[in-house]
Amino acid sequence: MRVLMTVVTLLALTSPAAPEPYLVGRGISDVTGAAAENGMMGYSKFDQKTSGIHQRQRSRAYIVVDQETGKRVAYVNADLAMIFRAVQEGVLAKLQQKYGQTYTRENLLLSATHTHSGPGGFSHNLAYNLSILGMQPQTLNAITDGITESIVKAHEDLKPGSISINRGELTNASVNRSKLAFGKNPDKSFFPNGIDPAMTVLRFKQGGSDVGAISWFATHNTSMTNANTLISPDNKGYAAYQWEHDEKGVRYLDNPNGFVATFPNTNAGDMSPNLNLKPGSGPTEDEVENTRIIGERQNGKAHEIYNGPQTNLTGGVDYRMRFVDMSTVNVDGRYTPDGKPKTTCSGVVGASTIAGSVEDGPAIPGFSEGMQSPLKKLFEPLNVPVPEWLKSCQYPKASLVPTGLVGATPNVLPLQIVRIGSLVLVAVPGEVTITAGLRIRRSVATELGTSLENVLIQGYANDYSQYVTTPEEYDEQQYEGGSTLFGRNTTPAYQQEFGKLAKAMRDNTPVDNGPVPGKPPFTDINLQTGVVFDDKAIGRNFGDVLAAPQNTYQRGQTVTAVFVTGHPKNNLHRNGTFLEVQRLVDGKWVRHADDGDWSTRYQWKRVGIANSEATITWIIPADTPAGTYRIVHNGDWKSGWTGAITGFTGATGGFSVG
């Protein structure tokens, strides 16, 4: 028996390590734009402008290289409302300046979590900048720089590794917000509870070490309502933060190369996290608590799947991508409900788009409001009647604005399929309902000869064109149907066009680029003023403490400090922080928390014409070590005489936490 055990031990020591067919790299960076007086993207609410930070937005990147062929794919999921072509082009330009043609439109997949609580103005299409009062170059640059940095970090992190996959179901983090339309689908029985509960998790390893995870699940990232003005990555951002920060010990400003976890969306078009079907409601009546709970539920299920039985991914890396003019697709009868050929139409916004989704938040008020100064300039390009032929093509939509005809929304879109081993990602530049997603996935799976579970919709990818509903859902003209730009046959068109890409992948044949779009008109309109200068009261200095904390606190209490400050647009402090909670350790102040943490809030407000205040709060977590702490504010002010921007730091006195 002893001899047998010795042989077994020797075999274990000399057997080859687990196969590592890939090079794997991961990276993370900051994509937070202007933290004050920048319109927010998602709810189309004109008076929803940033006024501070709850948590910073981040870009998370993963690169996978097939060691046998050298083919690679770079996958990004960022805490943004959408990816626009302006972002894709900006990132590609920066990457190609550094790496040549290593990364192209074909092998780079950019996606967004769809948070509605981040600064907007980063599209080249006017319709998506309207409520932001135009293009905001500062925010666009922050996003493209941050995404690029995350990819560069992943590139430099590449090491031999492996990827495994597992699946499960999450049933208490989403609800169907468009049940009337969903109920018209003849194939609705595939989703007996009216939701897509599927969660798919990839586990990344370098050698024997876990380095990252991607957890796909369909729910809108809208736990925070349109009344919120603090930057927030919402429930999916909290899920990532909980895994990275709370469980893996990642400190973004100290050791950003730790474990990277991201929670991308799939076909979430009709999936809401607001379980009571009204904004900010469900499971509680507190939007911040709901953000935490829905995020925690996604993270908890992802952990369960991640730690469950794994199947190693094997096989190569591949991709296909082409531009398609979605306004002129001739759809074969194989994909239409009645078996007859159909066509799509140029993009048109319907009346129900303007009404918005009552479950997650209303949209723009009637276009007649604001047609006079100062918004007249924004609306003038959209003041075009819808031609009768287009109204007919869009029937039964109550057509309001022909956004595709005037370039306010894109007609030509990037369609992409990425394969990593057995997993296939269908990158859709829009918001796909669960049944529309099911049909597209089936078309791709059929062409590739693979199982349906191996094909995922990656929504909010590479560009944005609003919603994708089935013909039956479109007929109901709920919010999602009214926001389906290309008419009743949008989903059949996607089935056909993604099917073509899948066939090319199966047959190992190339595809042409398609009609590469140009830059749309009206891209540079911006009615949002910048910082003129910063001022302060006589006798005060920037960084002075206006309201100091108490002397002592208990865990669970809230510490508050108010500072004289300058405008946050003077310096975004990207990859930095506007605040620090510092702890006294061995006679030195050490950063304990910053503005990327769940427990902190940085709130800015204008006082008078050019004066402003920063209010910093810290809700002391239950596990905070006893000790002496202080609050520090980092800011910048702009001179009205020279225009020079000068940094400053202010700090409170110490206070004890017992």
Confidence of residue 378 (pLDDT cuts 50, 70, 90): low
Banded model confidence at residue 350, pLDDT cuts 50, 70, 90: confident
Whether pLDDT at 499 is above 70: yes
Task: Copy the structure tokens of residue 304.
Answer: 């369960």
Mean pLDDT over 613-637 rounds to 98
User: Which of these CATH numbers, 2.60.40.2300, 1.10.630.10, 2.70.70.10, 3.40.640.10, describes 545-657?
Assistant: 2.60.40.2300
Q: Is residue 355 predicted with pLDDT exceeding 60?
A: no
Cα separation values, 353 from 284, 435, 465, Å: 27, 20, 13
**CB of 404 closer than 8 Å to CB of 325:** no
Predicted pLDDT at 398: 87
Strands 49-53 and 198-206: unpaired
E-state strands within 84-157 = 108-112, 118-119
pLDDT tens figures, 15-35: 334 479 999 999 999 999 999
Looking at every residue in the chain, the average pLDDT score rounds to 93
The CA-based angle 215-191-429, given to 5 degrees, is 50
Domain boundaries, the chain: 22-323+411-507, 545-657
**Is 5 a residue whose pLDDT tops 80?**
no
Question: pLDDT tens for residues 120-148?
Answer: 999 999 999 999 999 999 999 999 999 99
The verdict on whether 272 is a catalytic residue reads yes
Burial class from Cβ neighbours inside 10 Å (0-12, 13-18, 19+) for residue 317 reads buried
Q: Return phi, psi of residue 503, to 5°.
A: -65, -40
Query: 303, 391, 301, 312: which is closest to 346 by C-alpha?
Result: 391
Residue 362 has pLDDT above 60, yes or no: no
The active-site residue, picked from 174, 272, 352, 612, is 272
pLDDT in tens, 313-332: 999 999 999 999 999 999 99
Question: What is the C-alpha separation between 144 and 31, in angstroms, rounded?
Answer: 8
